[in-house]
């Protein structure tokens, strides 16, 4: 994990939550990571955005350096608690996969804290997949995890990085290495069969029309179609939404094409 002087801890009502904060007087931009990884997935974006914005990058509860849950919680409420603690907001909420769901949930449950949303590879609250590739990838991943075969779980999880249309070697080897390191830090915090205390914010897709702030669905063109569609659905329903794609990128466009991802987000915010 990248360590820096701006890695801090927020004493929540259920343990410490880790975050990075570059400080400064710029518009706050919150970077929300995908499931099983942590805030270091944003290592390229944090210094780039910090040239103009105040960048806040938390580890979600149960991920990275943040405490595990000991009782029911909602990720949107954790984020709201952090922003209230920092005395900042409204903020631009930028999320990938699980992070996209946190961004949308926060905009709906705590609308005063959201200035704009950028979401990739998710955003609605469906828990089931319907297309065969996603079904197979998800099933294989969690069968391996249930069996305690961590190496097989990593192999199955890697599929999201290249997506259904690209071969594995289309992704730079260092990306797989980084993803595995992040996943290992998170999975090592948990034990088999422990209770899942997370409570989802209900009706993300059904309520998307209530999102008053600008929304950009910024997908990797080679991500699973079902995941791209979830982000695009939110953008189409939101009154001020738009969509775009990054070619030759899948579920983690910020890792596949870091410079293009950063440029598109920055251009969106300037507009």
Yes or no: say if 123 and 217 are a contact pair by the CB < 8 Å rule: yes
Give this prediction's pTM: 0.96
Task: Look at residue 7 in the predicted model and tell me its pLDDT.
Answer: 86
Cα distance between residue 4 and residue 83, in whole Å: 20
DSSP state, 251?
S
Cα distance between residue 190 and residue 212, in whole Å: 37
Helix ranges restricted to H, the chain: 45-50, 75-86, 98-109, 132-146, 150-157, 159-162, 173-187, 225-237, 253-256, 258-270
Smallest CA-to-CA distance from 213 within 140, 106, 137 is with 106
The number of residues making up the chain comes to 271
CATH 3.40.50.2020 for the 7-129+196-270 domain, yes or no: no
Cα distance between residue 94 and residue 265, in whole Å: 9
Task: Look at residue 271 in the predicted model and tell me its pLDDT.
Answer: 86
Task: Look at residue 85 in the predicted model and tell me its pLDDT.
Answer: 96
Look at 1-15, 107-121, 154-168, 211-225 and tell me which has the smallest mean pLDDT.
Answer: 1-15
pLDDT over threshold 90, residue 162: yes
- Indicate the average pLDDT of the chain: 95
Cα distance between residue 144 and residue 130, in whole Å: 20
Rounded average pLDDT over 6-17: 93
Rounded average pLDDT over 203-216: 97
pLDDT over threshold 70, residue 159: yes
pLDDT over threshold 60, residue 67: yes
Task: Look at residue 3 in the predicted model and tell me its pLDDT.
Answer: 46
* Domain definitions of the chain by residue range: 7-129+196-270, 132-187
Cα distance between residue 199 and residue 88, in whole Å: 25
Yes or no: say if 197 and 99 are a contact pair by the CB < 8 Å rule: no
Upper half-sphere CA count for residue 162 (Cβ side, 13 Å)? 16
Cα distance between residue 85 and residue 68, in whole Å: 19
Any idea of the CA torsion for 121, 124, 129, 130, to the nearest 10 degrees?
-100
- pLDDT tens per residue, range 77-120: 999 999 999 999 899 999 999 999 999 999 999 999 999 999 99
Rounded average pLDDT over 126-155: 92
pLDDT over threshold 70, residue 2: no
Task: Look at residue 231 in the predicted model and tell me its pLDDT.
Answer: 98
Cα distance between residue 126 and residue 204, in whole Å: 9
Higher pLDDT, 6 or 1: 6
SS3 content of the chain, % helix, strand, coil (to 5): 40, 20, 40
Yes or no: say if 47 and 53 are a contact pair by the CB < 8 Å rule: no
Cα distance between residue 98 and residue 136, in whole Å: 19
- For the chain, percent of residues with pLDDT exceeding 70: 98
pLDDT over threshold 60, residue 5: no
Task: Look at residue 33 in the predicted model and tell me its pLDDT.
Answer: 98
Rounded average pLDDT over 3-13: 79
Cα distance between residue 63 and residue 181, in whole Å: 12
């Amino acid at each position: 994990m990248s360590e820096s002087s701006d890695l801090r801890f927020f004493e929540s009502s259920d343990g410490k939550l880790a975050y990075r904060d570059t400080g400064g007087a710029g518009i706050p931009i919150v970077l929300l990571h995908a499931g099983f990884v942590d805030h270091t997935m944003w290592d390229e974006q944090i210094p780039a955005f910090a040239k103009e914005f105040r960048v806040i990058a938390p580890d979600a509860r149960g991920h990275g350096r943040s405490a595990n849950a000991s009782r029911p919680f909602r990720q949107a409420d954790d984020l709201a608690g952090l922003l209230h603690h920092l005395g900042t907001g409204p903020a631009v909420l930028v999320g990938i996969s699980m992070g996209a769901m946190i961004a949308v949930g926060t905009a709906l449950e705590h609308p005063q804290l959201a200035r704009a949303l950028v979401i990739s590879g998710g955003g609605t609250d469906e828990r089931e997949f319907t297309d065969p590739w996603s079904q197979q990838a998800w099933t294989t991943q969690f069968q391996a995890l249930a069996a305690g075969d961590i190496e097989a779980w990593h192999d199955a999880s890697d599929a999201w990085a290249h997506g259904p249309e690209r071969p594995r070697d289309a992704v730079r080897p260092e990306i797989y290495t980084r993803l595995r390191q992040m996943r290992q830090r998170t999975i090592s915090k948990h034990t088999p069969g422990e209770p899942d205390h997370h409570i989802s914010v209900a009706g993300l897709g059904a309520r998307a029309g209530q999102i008053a702030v600008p929304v950009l669905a910024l997908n990797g063109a080679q991500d699973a179609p079902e995941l791209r569609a979830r982000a695009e659905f939110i953008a189409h329903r939101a009154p001020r939404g738009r969509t775009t794609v990054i070619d030759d990128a899948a579920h983690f466009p910020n890792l596949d094409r870091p410079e293009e991802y950063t440029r598109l987000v920055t251009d969106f915010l300037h507009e």
